[in-house]
Structures are given as C-alpha cells and as structure tokens.
Amino acid sequence: MSLFINTAHAAAAPAQQGGGMEMIIMLAVFGLVFYFMIYRPQAKRMKEHKGLMAALSKGDEVLTQGGIVGKIVKVSDEKDFIAISVAEGTEVTIQKAAISAVLPKGTMKNL
C-alpha cells in the first residue's frame, strides 16, 4: 500500500498562536477604512440631498432621477410631493426625493 499512499509524519512542534492584540488592531484598521471609504462619503451625499430638497421652491427648474426636466409649479411640504410642469399645460406630480439636481434658470428654454 505504501506505493500509492505517502506515509504521514507528525509535526515536530505545534505552531504558536498569535495574541489577541493583533486581531483587535486589524479590526480597528478595517473599521477606519470602512468609515472613511464608505460611510462618511455616503452620509455627506445624503446631507447634501436633504439640503437640496429643503431648498426647493416654486419656479425652480429641476432634473429628476428619471431624466425629466421641468419647472416646479407647486410644493407640498406636508406630503413631500411637488408638481412640475414638463410642458405648457402638462404637470407631473413626483416625490421630492426623486429630484437629483436644481438646474440654472433658463435651462428649459435652451433645450
């Protein structure tokens, strides 16, 4: 049988286990990387978007996440919805959170 199966040899001495301090330091480094690379930029974007939604007013030209460009006709504070005029006589009601950018005045005329 030794022709096909190698003989197993026992290890001379057991390997030493690392202390718990290295693991704690490594977890802390991963936590810092997670905070600075993922959480902090996302929180900053959310804060900017909340400020954008709070500053919306009648007459602003906006771009929605779906790519619709329109002028705000009505702002409803208690329901978090706004009505935008896409074309003359055409109004669309959308959520405030669907606004991705406020465009400079006169953008709709240039399109």
What CATH number is attached to the domain comprising 69?
2.30.30.140
Please enumerate in sequence order all residues whose Cβ is within 8 A of that of 91, keeping only pairs 6 or more positions apart, or say none.
73, 83, 84, 85
What's the CA gap between 53 and 46, in Å, rounded? 11
List pLDDT tens digits, range 41-70. Answer: 999 999 999 998 888 999 999 999 999 999
Whole domain around residue 67: which residue ranges?
Answer: 56-110
List pLDDT tens digits, range 14-44. Answer: 666 666 788 899 999 999 999 999 999 999 9
pTM of the model: 0.65
CA max distance for the chain: 90
Q: How many structural domains compose the chain?
A: 1
What's the CA gap between 96 and 93, in Å, rounded? 9
Residue 33, beta-bridge partner list: none
- Residue 99 inside a domain? The answer is yes
* Confidence class for position 4, pLDDT limits 50, 70, 90: confident
- Residue 41 inside a domain? The answer is no
| Residue range 1-9: mean pLDDT, rounded | 67
